Structure 1
Amino acid sequence: MTMTEQRFDRTESDEVVSAPEAAFGPAVETGAAEQKPTLLDQMGGPMGFVYSTLPVVVFVAANAVLPLPMTISISIAVGLALTVFRLGRGERFASAIGGLVGIGVAVGIVAWTGSAKDFFVLGIWMALAGFVVTFASVLVRRPLTGVVWNLVHGGARAWRDDPVALRAHDIATLAVAAVFGARFVVKEWLYLADSTTWLAVAKIVMGTPLTVLAALVVLWAFRRTTKHVVA
């Protein structure tokens, strides 16, 4: 073999080896750079907790020292400021406006009834509705989390025929029902006791923390169902 042929063979061999290495290198770097979002990130992260609690804190604090009409005005101003801030951060329009609509409905009820505690009445009845829907879905053997899982996977999975999957979604849906039920019982009791301040505390404490706990159970049920029904 001549010197030229040896150089040619060596060059071809180097190219064959270097091509996979070139492809493998970026793949490793990309995988290292990409981080899977946590459950808290998917729920809005720390800022999501701030968005949900700040209007409540502002309303209760203002109501403690100011007349109700001024409290309503300040709450609306804070809601508008939060909306502008969220839109400025590039959040989705629907998410940012949804928070403002919630504040608007709450203070609208307060303006209509003239009672500060009615700022929380919408959340109380929504908790009751959530409990009724989720608990009823378990009673009719169609737990709501399983229905949602099935829709996510095309809507044609026989998940109810798998005892393990059905049991997992019974547990997950009951966990969600327990969160809704606890919120309704505690807040309704505080509402009847005319305790606006403690209603705010209950809303904060029983808000994002309990939602995260319930979401962890639902996530477990989703993964368990996927393992038994899909895999």
Structure 2
Amino acid sequence: MTSLDKPTEDAQQDARAVTEAALFEAFGGVRGMVETVVPGLLFVTIFTINKDLHWSAIAALGVSLLLVVVRLAMRDTVKHAFSGVFGVAFGVVFAMMTGNAKDFYLPGMIYTLGLAVAYIVTTLAGVPLIGLILGPVFKENLSWRTRNPGRKKAYAKASWAWGLILLAKCAVLFPLYWWANTSQLGWVLVALKIPPFLLAVWLTWVFLAKAPAPIDVFAEMEAEEQAEKEREAALAKDDTEATAGRHRRDG
């Protein structure tokens, strides 16, 4: 390995580390995955044992609220826990209204289908959804659209991956919604919570790790503000010196 190769490899490792950290922040990491799985797991476990929709729904909603309280107590970000509460609440309300325990899962399944379509449609429109999600996390906002074509291509690939993986998941779940009983659907849903998500995140990491580095638009803005302050300071200094020079001539 030459001395020129070492900085390149170090830069690549740094880029991969930044990408990993950004993905964990955006998608909630291990804790976010646990918070996504636990309410549904509790619902299907209780329902499998006693076939009681009300107790299953109350337990799922209760544990979702508990996860939010824990995050608040630890002064941690609550966006992932809150999204879980809303998802569980919609499922509980829907199931209670219809009296069909399987409907607890239907809002989440519809959301997954809608999200899959959103990934594909936004990519076809030239604004891949994963770029809109991760752009602020990488401090690049939408600069990748016009100033970083290699990164835009990586976001497009990642969005295609998310869309197709979620569509495949829906292709399994929706037939089960019609043909399977509540417990069967619930256990399959629990089993499909993490693996497709991890596959999509891993593919996103692969695509972005090979992509050009993000353009830090926040750093650019700060640099411009600093340069403007320096220009103003220089102008003020010139004015002060000019005024002092006039005073000396007049004196």
- Same structural fold, with TM-score higher than 0.5 when normalized by the shorter chain: yes
Of 70, 95, 101, 1:116 maps to: 101
**Dislocated runs of 4+, deviation >6 Å:** none
CA pair 83-211 structure 1, distance change in 2 beyond 3 A: same
Instruction: Check if 1:184 corresponds to 2:182.
Output: no
TM-superposed deviation, 1:165: 4.2
In the other structure, the counterpart of 1:206 is 192
Q: Kindly indicate whether the alpha-carbon contact (under 8 Å) linking 2:176 and 2:185 is maintained by their aligned counterparts in 1.
A: yes
Q: Kindly indicate whether the alpha-carbon contact (under 8 Å) linking 1:175 and 1:214 is maintained by their aligned counterparts in 2.
A: yes
Q: Give the letter for the 1:83 counterpart.
A: V
Q: Kindly indicate whether the alpha-carbon contact (under 8 Å) linking 2:64 and 2:88 is maintained by their aligned counterparts in 1.
A: yes
Q: Identity over aligned residues, as a percent?
A: 23
In the other structure, the counterpart of 1:61 is 45
Distance across 1 between alignment mates of 2:105 and 2:184: 11
1:137-187 deviation per Cα after TM superposition (whole angstroms, max 9, x unaligned): 23334433345566641434454884x445433321110111210121111
Q: Give the letter for the 1:199 counterpart.
A: L
Q: Kindly indicate whether the alpha-carbon contact (under 8 Å) linking 2:23 and 2:201 is maintained by their aligned counterparts in 1.
A: no
Of 59, 75, 96, 2:60 maps to: 75
Distance across 2 between alignment mates of 1:94 and 1:161: 29
CA pair 216-154 structure 1, distance change in 2 beyond 3 A: same
Larger relative contact order, structure 1 or 2 (CA cutoff 8 Å, min sep 6): 2
Q: Kindly indicate whether the alpha-carbon contact (under 8 Å) linking 1:145 and 1:173 is maintained by their aligned counterparts in 2.
A: yes
Aligned length: 195
Of 36, 41, 53, 1:52 maps to: 36
Q: Please, what TM-score do these two structures have when normalized by structure 2?
A: 0.64
Q: Give the letter for the 1:59 counterpart.
A: F
1:72-124 deviation per Cα after TM superposition (whole angstroms, max 9, x unaligned): 23333333333333333332244433322222221111101101111110111
Q: Kindly indicate whether the alpha-carbon contact (under 8 Å) linking 1:124 and 1:187 is maintained by their aligned counterparts in 2.
A: yes
SS in 1 for 2:142: coil
Instruction: Check if 1:131 corresponds to 2:120.
Output: no
SS in 1 for 2:212: helix
Q: Kindly indicate whether the alpha-carbon contact (under 8 Å) linking 1:159 and 1:165 is maintained by their aligned counterparts in 2.
A: no
Q: Please, what TM-score do these two structures have when normalized by structure 1?
A: 0.69
In structure 1, list runs of 5 or more residues that go unmatched: 1-34
Distance across 1 between alignment mates of 2:72 and 2:135: 33
Of 61, 73, 89, 1:104 maps to: 89
Q: Kindly indicate whether the alpha-carbon contact (under 8 Å) linking 1:168 and 1:225 is maintained by their aligned counterparts in 2.
A: yes
